[in-house]
Amino acid sequence: MSERMILENVRAYYRQLKGTTEYFVKAVDGVNFTIYDGDIIGLVGESGCGKSTLAKALMFDFHPPLEFKGGRIELITRDGKRFNASQFKGIDTVKKTLWGKHIAYVPQDALNALMPTIKIKKIAYDILRSHEKGITLKKTIELLKERLAELDLPEYVIDVYPFQLSGGMRQRVVLAMTTLLTPEVLIVDEPTSALDVITQKIVLKALVQLKKLGFVDSIVFITHDISTVRQIANRIAVMYAGRIVEVGSTEQVINEPLHPYTEGLIHSVPSIELEGKEKGISYIPGHPPNLINPPAGCRFHPRCPHAMDICRKEAPPLMKINGNRIVACWLYGGEKGE
Ligand SMILES: Nc1ncnc2c1ncn2[C@@H]1O[C@H](COP(=O)(O)OP(=O)(O)OP(=O)(O)O)[C@@H](O)[C@H]1O
């Protein structure tokens, strides 16, 4: 499997000023993570754990107050070209070089971000124009018609205003428009959280379709809802307090979670409990830490039922277990992972 993105020890902090004192919110702090061609990765974790900030890092989207503090973020294109976050001097070059063409992002508020008074074809044209000089409205319409048909959306959509579309339709139109230039990686942030269950399934199907048809190679699906992501992801990465704590196949992570945090997360989801697990719904005690001054050692140790001495002192590295499981927890031994 070829790699599409490699993240090594990535740190992305928000700079904050209180009076004259400078603080950093360590929203992404030592993340290691690889995205392969063909992946649909579910990135899960509680609110505030750093998922959206990690999405910004994957987009090379660093501008104040967010700062890239170190590590390696590398994007590898289909034709083998490599882009490194540290090679870019400003966000404008990132936008021009990568966004839309190699990596695309559908933010949490995409549904509302569409200007209600501009027709879909004009919105698509404006998006394409910002990435591809010389593209015409005629060419945009041709391309968009093709894509809409592939995603089972009617052609008339191009001539309507966003407010005339239902939530699920709007979300699929956003997906079609965002991927018109066939980027290698698509990042979607909570794409289904505002939708009813049936519409959610239609949007999930559209995502799978985008990958199947080769409009994108890999998808990162960000959500706090592990039960949604399990429907389409082949792998799940679990994030806690700015770090990835476990990565594995969807089945492994859900059926045999290794990290105590993953276990807590899964047992707190009713829809997963109902499918065969009879342990009852439970909640993870305590709260995620303040990311300005996170606890030493494993960041989960104050909430962990298995915390040992070492957990309070040393942060566990991501370790490879049984060949293909990856976990950052002192309960497990093994060689160093991703
Ligand atoms: N502009 C900002 N300035 C300072 N801190 C920020 C900023 N944006 C986010 N943060 C902080 O960074 C941390 C990670 O936030 P982030 O939005 O990445 O988490 P998340 O997992 O995506 O949360 P959610 O699921 O609620 O969207 C949080 O502590 C948040 O308060």
* DSSP, residue by residue, 89-108: -SHHHHHHHTBTTTEEEE-T
What is d(CA 209, CA 201) in angstroms, rounded to the nearest whole number?
Answer: 12
Tell which wins on pLDDT, 268 or 23: 23
| Strand segments (E) across the chain | 3-18, 21-36, 40-44, 66-76, 82-84, 103-106, 185-189, 218-223, 235-240, 243-249, 319-321, 325-327, 335-336
Quote the mean pLDDT of the chain: 90
Tell me which of 16, 25, 26, 188 to substitute to probe ligand 1's pocket, judged by most ligand atoms within 8 Å of the beta carbon: 25
CA atoms within 13 A on the CB side of 182: 10
pLDDT-derived band of residue 279, with 50, 70 and 90 as boundaries?
A: low
User: Is the pLDDT confidence value at 280 over 60?
Assistant: no
* pLDDT for the residue 273: 46
What are 310-324's pLDDT values in tens digits?
A: 999 999 999 998 878
Range of the domain at 123: 3-336
CA distance 296 to 289: 11
Kindly state the average pLDDT of the residues 86-107.
92
Q: Tell me: pLDDT of 97 over 60.
A: yes
- Name which residue sits closest to atom 29 of ligand 1, judged by CA: 48
In angstroms, rounded to a whole number, what is the distance separating the alpha carbons of residues 3 and 277? 35
Q: Which ligand 1 atom is the nearest neighbour of the CA of 53?
A: 18
User: What does the chain come to in residues?
Assistant: 338
Per-residue pLDDT tens over the stretch 192-243:
777 788 888 888 999 999 999 999 999 999 998 888 889 999 999 999 999 9
Percentage of the chain modeled with pLDDT above 90: 70
In ligand 1, the atom with minimum distance to the C-alpha of 56 is: 18
Q: Provide the number of structural domains found in the chain.
A: 1
197: its two tokens: 């269950």
Q: How many CB atoms lie within 10 A of CB 323?
A: 7
pLDDT digits (tens, 9 = 90+) for 31-63: 999 999 999 999 999 999 999 999 999 999 999
Contact assessment for residue 242 and residue 29, using Cβ atoms and an 8 Å cutoff:
yes
Please indicate whether residue 127 or residue 7 has the higher confidence score (pLDDT).
7
pLDDT of residue 294: 95
Kindly report the protein residue whose alpha carbon is nearest to atom 7 of ligand 1. Answer: 14
Q: What is the pLDDT of residue 275?
A: 56
Please check the confidence at residue 173 and state whether its pLDDT lies above 60.
Answer: yes
Q: Which atom of ligand 1 is least distant from the CA of 242? A: 14
Which pLDDT value is given to residue 272? 53
The letter for the amino acid at 265 is L
* Ligand 1 geometric centre to CA of 47 (Å): 8
DSSP letter at 31 equals E
Q: Whose CA is nearest to atom 24 of ligand 1?
A: 47
pTM score > 0.90 for this model?
yes
Ligand 1 binding pocket includes 193 (Cβ within 6 Å):
no
Query: What CATH number did the domain enclosing 144 receive?
Result: 3.40.50.300
